[in-house]
Amino acid sequence: AQSVSQHNHHVILSEAASLELGCNYSYGGTVNLFWYVQYPGQHLQLLLKYFSGDPLVKGIKGFEAEFIKSKFSFNLRKPSVQWSDTAEYFCAVNAIGTGGFKTIFGAGTRLFVKA
């Protein structure tokens, strides 16, 4: 069965620090990969996605993620975080060919950025 692991449940950083949130998945087939973000009091929204091509994908607000197929990983990075990046981040994996039915979400990582 598919599963998604996010390495940290809580991360606390100071402004300008670099961020890397780990995500590993288990699925042997072809996948689409996503990071979603939920800012306090707001709904979940798509941050970035990978479905083919360049394994380094760039999303909104300076975030990027790298798909490493051999490691089944899709880690999220940002070189310099801001206080406004305080949010909960979810990694998600969708198995291609299942009509979008099998998107599995990780448990989430709550990021707090100190001003």
Q: Which residues bind other proteins (CB under 8 A)?
A: 4, 6, 9, 32, 34, 36, 42-46, 49, 51-52, 90, 92, 94, 96, 98-101, 103, 105-108
Residue 58 and residue 64 in contact, taking contact as beta carbons nearer than 8 Å:
yes
Nearer to other proteins, 39 or 80 (CB): 39
* Min CB(55)–other proteins separation in Å: 14
Long-range pairs, 99-103, Cβ under 8 A, ≥24:
102/2, 103/34
Beta-strand (E) ranges in 1-115?
3-6, 10-14, 19-21, 23-26, 31-38, 45-50, 56-58, 64-68, 73-78, 87-95, 103-105, 109-114
* Min CB(44)–other proteins separation in Å: 4
Question: What would you report as the CA-atom Rg of the chain, rounded to the nearest whole angstrom?
Answer: 14
Nearer to other proteins, 36 or 81 (CB): 36
* Min CB(26)–other proteins separation in Å: 15
Nearer to other proteins, 28 or 53 (CB): 53
Nearer to other proteins, 13 or 44 (CB): 44
